[in-house]
Structure 1
Amino acid sequence: MFENAFDFSALSDLADLRVAVYLIVAAAILWLAKAINQACAGYSLNDQLTKHDNKAVAVSFAGFLFSLCLVIHGILTAPASLKVLEADENAWLIDLGSTAAWAGIACVLLLISRIFNDKVLFPKFSNKKELVTDKNIGMGAAQAGSYIATALVIRAVLGDEESGSFIAELGAAVVWFVITQILLFVFCFIYQKCTRFDLHAEIERDNAAAGVALGGSLIAFGLLLEFFVKRYDSIGSLVVWGIVAAVLLIITRCVVDKILLPGAHLDDEIHKDQNWGAALIEVSTAVGVALLIQGSFF
């Protein structure tokens, strides 16, 4: 240990110009993604974020950008990508193009997930109205959670060395994406059935606590789906695991209610008091349990 404590040769890797090129390309991708997001959203992001100080749009857009960064990180750290970078000095240019292409695909899938979020997860109201007109932070948090959960699964299938080709990898990504969206709906359905309040009604009445709790729980659920997709390729097993994961997170919610918040009902704190602090406790515990479950299998 510390045998090379004063060896500075590792710093040469940090001076690699390819790193700077990747960062420039990533910045360009994020800028382009913002433009595409704005075009599809039907409102000006700049106006909402600056002129109107719309924090609901800010939370949603932050979730979108973070999701895209998660996918780009998954591409860059995939085993297949690392092998390409080590192959020869020009092979990284091909990988750079692949990174840009996959980031574009991920952007499209995330925007599709927003439509799914609007039409399927929350069909009783318009997400755009809640974000722009009502400045509903709860809606922004729920949408951000949906973005991140989707991105976790997308990045799990990227860079698969056994996929064989770009087309095969794209096909796998689309299949897992569709299944994931269905499982997100199933999770929301189970979550709603296990709460003592109307989740849709609470989010529609600008209850930030309800949106934060759901958005964070979706992220925890996405972590559990990501873990399974990385290790296995059985669609049937993923469906079963999705239901098991949902039950585990509901049990976690009960633990938060009975042990971490004794003397108070979590549902009352979220529904009646709109206590987003209690919602954060639920979220941190759910995400923590998801990470612990992931770690237990390694």
Structure 2
Amino acid sequence: MDIAVTLEGLGQGFIYVVIGILFIWLVKKIDDWRTRDFDDDVHIDDGNIAVGLRRSGLYLGVAIALSGALGGSSKGFFLDLSHLLIDGFIITLFMFSSRFINDFIMLGNINNDQECVKSFVQPDGRKVVGNTAVGMVEAGMYVATGFILNGSISGSGGTFVQSIVSAILFFILGQLALLIVGFLYELITPFNVKNEIKSNNLAAGIGLGGILIALGIILMSSISGPFTGWANDLTSFGIYAVYGILMLLIFRIVIDKLLLPTTDIATEVKEDRNVAALIVVVSAINAVAIIIAFSM
């Protein structure tokens, strides 16, 4: 092992880590400015789980997306560094675009910002601040978007301009796929998911947010890899997107029967608001998504 080469690699890696942290700080400052009507830091200090969830999803999504920019073969430190900086600004733009899509399309008439600082009276009479269900769905959208951007940015074989165009195109297609799975999830679920989320039912938020993350994992795998031409890459994405959505919706029903033999998801979400049960179900769905992603 060449010690000099190892130390040089560690030094360059340290710079990449610093840049990653700077982009996470940048999205924090942008989100602080965007939500300047209330202080997110104060809400987090006061234990507002909804704000904590949405912020954690944003930071994780950025890190997951940036890891795609760090992958692949090196083209030289300074060229890699310039590409990372450009990718970082694109990722930042896309993250806040996905928030807009989540706010106005995925959750329809729910204003995420207002919901995450709103006061609620829980079924047991407790008063809480912040809609944790909305925070969970927004976090899921950020993380899913991070996986999609990871796949679109990590590809090789084309020019840098092609990689930028690819990131834009697959971001749009990925958001469309997330909206479709959200719509279909609502259709196969025997209760109104959006109404449960609006009523601060965290179990419902975990269910929707979790399946968004699962689809993001599958889409990342379908997008990543060498550039083989627009027609071929777009066709492959379409096939895997349809396949992934169908598999997730089918296995959600199967997992319901296998992991909740004495009850069902509808009962655990709507009647019991059982967060523990939904964590188990969503973890299993994401485990299936990981297996699907690595089997493709």
TM-score (norm 1): 0.87
CA deviations on 1:57-88 (whole Å, 9 max, x unpaired) are 111110000010111111112x2xx322xxxx
Distance 1:21 1:237, change over 3 A: closer
Structure 2 residue 206 is matched with structure 1 residue 212: yes
C-alpha deviation, 1:239, in angstroms: 3.1
1:295 equivalent in structure 2: 294
Does the CA-based 8 Å contact 2:255-2:285 persist in structure 1? no
- Report matched runs for 1:225-264 at 5 Å: 225-231=219-225, 233-264=232-263
Does the CA-based 8 Å contact 2:98-2:142 persist in structure 1? yes
- Report matched runs for 1:109-258 at 5 Å: 109-134=94-119, 135-165=130-160, 167-231=161-225, 233-258=232-257
C-alpha deviation, 1:241, in angstroms: 2.9
In structure 1, list runs of 5 or more residues that go unmatched: 1-6, 85-90
Does the CA-based 8 Å contact 1:252-1:285 persist in structure 2? no
Cα distance in 2 for partners of 1:8, 1:229 equals 35
TM-score (norm 2): 0.88
Which SS does the other structure have where 2:20 is aligned?
A: helix
C-alpha deviation, 1:47, in angstroms: 2.0
Cα distance in 1 for partners of 2:204, 2:2 equals 50
Identity of counterpart residues, as a percentage?
25
Does the CA-based 8 Å contact 1:256-1:281 persist in structure 2? no
2:83 equivalent in structure 1: 98
Structure 2 residue 23 is matched with structure 1 residue 29: yes
Which SS does the other structure have where 2:224 is aligned?
A: helix
CA deviations on 1:203-248 (whole Å, 9 max, x unpaired) are 0000000001111111101111111112575334433432332221
Distance 1:243 1:159, change over 3 A: closer
Which SS does the other structure have where 1:158 is aligned?
A: helix
In structure 2, list runs of 5 or more residues that go unmatched: 120-129
The one-letter amino acid of 1:83's match is S
1:83 equivalent in structure 2: 74
Cα distance in 2 for partners of 1:161, 1:247 equals 28
C-alpha deviation, 1:25, in angstroms: 2.0
Distance 1:227 1:15, change over 3 A: closer
RMSD: 2.1
